[in-house]
Amino acid sequence: MPNPNHKRQKRLTQTLTQLEKQDWGTAQSGSNLAVACHQLRHKPVGQMTVEDLRILIGQDIGLPYLMPLALDILQHDPMAKGQHYPGDLLCAALRASSAFYHHYPAYRFAVRDLAALACHAVQWLEEWEQSSTQKALNEALSAFDASGQAI
């Protein structure tokens, strides 16, 4: 009997370049962000860190492959932190393109539910992190809710 997880396990060992069957080559821009995005496309998706996911999702890169990974992390920790602040991965997911969520509405609902949990979880952060994190979440959530009006 075939293993139903085999396809997912194989995907985790592949890079975005392999999964999307598109090699972007080297970054033509000298910006750190462009260079990072090009480099991350050659990293197996199963080895992506929270910060890697935040960067790529924040640029709407590889969303069909990366959003499930981000949601797995966020379900365990809605305040998962990349480089910037607690919840920055969730904020990146909230800011993903409305076109993506139009094609994958289940992800829209999952991200919205996680945002509600995160807004409640802010109170458990260190006092010095609460205000800036709450502000970032509120802004991302407002944009997310507004983008859903068009769907």
Q: How far apart are CA 80 and CA 54, in angstroms?
A: 10
pTM, to two decimals = 0.90
Residues in the chain: 151
Q: For residue 151, what pLDDT band results from cuts at 50, 70 and 90?
A: very low
pLDDT digits (tens, 9 = 90+) for 75-114: 999 999 999 999 999 999 999 999 999 999 999 999 999 9
Concatenated DSSP letters of 15-53 = BHHHHTT----S-SS--HHHHHHHHHTTSBGGG--HHHH
| pLDDT at residue 2 tops 60 | no
Predicted pLDDT at 100: 96
Predicted pLDDT at 55: 98
Kindly report the average pLDDT of the chain as a whole number: 90
pLDDT digits (tens, 9 = 90+) for 19-54: 999 988 887 777 899 999 999 999 999 999 999 999
Q: What are phi and psi of 109, to 5 degrees?
A: -65, -40
